[in-house]
Amino acid sequence: MISKSAIIHPYVKLGKNCNVEDFVIIGCPPRGFQLGDLETVIGDDAVIRSHTVIYAGNKIGNNFHTGNKTNIRELNIIGDDVSIGTLTVVEHHVIIENSVRIHTQVFIPEFTKLNKHCWIGPNVVFTNAKYPKSQNVKNELVGSVVEEYAKIGANATILPGVIVGRNALVGAGSVVTRNVEANQIVAGNPARFIKKIFY
């Protein structure tokens, strides 16, 4: 079902059984592009809640869900079974793999990669500029990587280029300044090793 108040621009391909709520905008061209330059694809069974904005050029899989007022910039690749919470901002050139859960008010800047099944708590902030406002900052952005099954607790901040290893856990409120190895728990500011996760 597509609300009458939603704006679906040309060159958008919506899959079957999609629910697009009030005042959603899908397929608006970003700065520097014209309508039709970028195709937008969203798979089957999406639920796109009210006031969400999805720019042109996104490739999104099946069973995609957003909260209200989610903002997704252009040229991202988003897999199947992804949920992105209310008021979250996803910038451009981000990769989000299958079955990722992103909670409310998360900030995901350019060149971030979230691998399968990872979990991002509310108010998490990823960063990608090592030296903000420096002369060449736009050409030196470095995204973070969250590996499969890793979990990042609420209000954590992840610094540019940090890799959070497979099945790692970042404690709530942590500031992560260096890579986190697989199966580690880290917490604090700066985040430090707490213990290993064993199975």
Phi and psi, residue 31, nearest 5°: -55, 135
Task: Give residue 138's pLDDT band: very low, low, confident or very high (50, 70, 90).
Answer: confident
| Closest to 174 in 3D by CA, of 185, 166, 182, 163 | 185
CATH hierarchy code of domain 123-199: 2.160.10.10
Q: In what order do the strands lie in the sheet with 101-102?
A: 19-20, 47-48, 65-66, 83-84, 101-102, 119-120, 151-152, 169-170, 184-187, 192-196
Place of tokens 């901040």: 157
Residue whose token pair is 């697009």: 20
Kindly report the backbone phi and psi dihedral angles of residue 14, in degrees, each rounded to the nearest multiple of 5, phi listed first: -100, 135
pTM: 0.96
- What SS3 class is residue 12? strand
3-state secondary structure 45-102: CCEECCCCEEECCCEECCCCEECCCCEECCCCEECCCCEECCCCEECCCCEECCCCEE
CATH superfamily of 1-93: Hexapeptide repeat proteins (2.160.10.10)
- Mind listing the pLDDT tens digit for each residue in 46-77? 999 999 999 999 999 999 999 999 999 999 99
For 3-44, how does the pLDDT look when each residue is reduced to its tens digit (9 = 90+)? Answer: 999 999 999 999 999 999 999 999 999 999 999 899 999 999
pLDDT digits (tens, 9 = 90+) for 97-130: 999 999 999 999 999 999 999 999 999 999 999 9
CATH 2.160.10.10 domain range(s) in the chain: 1-93, 123-199
The mean pLDDT value for 140-145 works out to 96
Inter-residue contact 9 to 56 (CB < 8 Å): yes
